[in-house]
Amino acid sequence: MSRGFGLQQGAEAVLYTAPFLFQCEPTFQASTPSDADAAHAQPIIIKRRFPRAYRHRTLDKKLTRGRLASEARNLLKARKLGVKVPAVLRVDVDALCIYLERIPGDTLKEKLARQTKNDKEQVETTLKALGAACATLHQGNIVHGDLTPSNVMVTTTQESAPSVALIDFGLAQTSTLAEDKAVDLYVLERAINSTANDGDEAEPFGHVLAGYESRASKGLWNAVRTKLDEVRARGRKRTMVG
């Protein structure tokens, strides 16, 4: 079987892309898959968490396995709630790997960076869909933990409206607190407003909130909106103080 191709390396894990399931390898070494393999394969992502040398080996393995299991559980729960996320194909706790469906499309960050005035309607639809997805996630008491445009995949077709998928649940957790859900949105707000390339609209995040409100229960919306205002105020204060 061919190995995967190194895709990206983050602070806690290495991502590979591969045409089919295979034994996870701890390096970026790769070989080109044959045409026959590629013709019958579905693209997948393998996320391998690497050990932390500064931690005790036994403790590190326990913590890393716990995070791996938590990520898989939250992905499965989000999918059950109806949020579009990568399907979990396999979890290998010994190799510290999680095998995931690869979502086609571009990241929201890429979409926002290159948008033009002609894309305005499509971008608004995408942001509202993202807000609705966040509300569904929060309604199920899942907090993503790293909601940024880089962790949102957008798939567009000529036949249908843009489809939004959330990826990278490595920092996700279960929480019933409106504060945690508000922080999720605040992180997303700052990232979107700093990424968007639209001179006619200062706050594209307003469309996210519109989508969130349309999907959330009245109780969730009121609680999260109140906390979001508080989180924003604290953020502005920290910015002023430095």
Q: Rounded CA gap, 190 and 203, in Å?
A: 10
β-bridge mates for residue 154, sequence order: 106, 164
Domain with CATH 1.10.510.10 in the chain: 106-241
Residue 131 structure tokens: 């807000």
Confidence of residue 13 (pLDDT cuts 50, 70, 90): confident
Task: Quote the pLDDT of residue 40.
Answer: 54
Average pLDDT, whole number, for the chain?
84
What architecture (CATH level 2) is domain 5-101?
2-Layer Sandwich (3.30)
Q: Are 78 and 143 a contacting pair, CB within 8 Å? A: no
Q: Rounded CA gap, 228 and 87, in Å?
A: 30
pLDDT digits (tens, 9 = 90+) for 81-103: 999 999 999 999 888 999 999 99
Write out the catalytic residue numbers. Answer: 146
Taking residue 55's Cβ as centre, other Cβ atoms within 10 Å add up to 13
Task: Quote the pLDDT of residue 162.
Answer: 86
Q: Are 218 and 179 a contacting pair, CB within 8 Å? A: no
Q: Answer yes or no: is pLDDT of 36 > 60.
A: no
* Choice between 87 and 8, residue whose per-residue pLDDT is larger: 87
Domain with CATH 3.30.200.20 in the chain: 5-101
Query: What is the average per-residue pLDDT within 1-11?
Result: 58
Confidence of residue 56 (pLDDT cuts 50, 70, 90): confident
The domain defined by 106-241 carries CATH number 3.40.50.300: no
Task: Quote the pLDDT of residue 58.
Answer: 83
Cα 117 to chain centroid distance, Å, stands at 26
Q: Are 139 and 175 a contacting pair, CB within 8 Å? A: no
Task: Quote the pLDDT of residue 71.
Answer: 96
Handedness of CA 186, 187, 190, 193 (dihedral sign): negative
Task: Tell me the pTM.
Answer: 0.84
pLDDT digits (tens, 9 = 90+) for 104-153: 999 999 999 888 777 888 999 999 999 999 999 999 999 999 999 999 99
Token pair 């036994």: residue: 58
Whole-Å CA distances, 47 to 5, 39, 90, 99: 12, 23, 11, 6
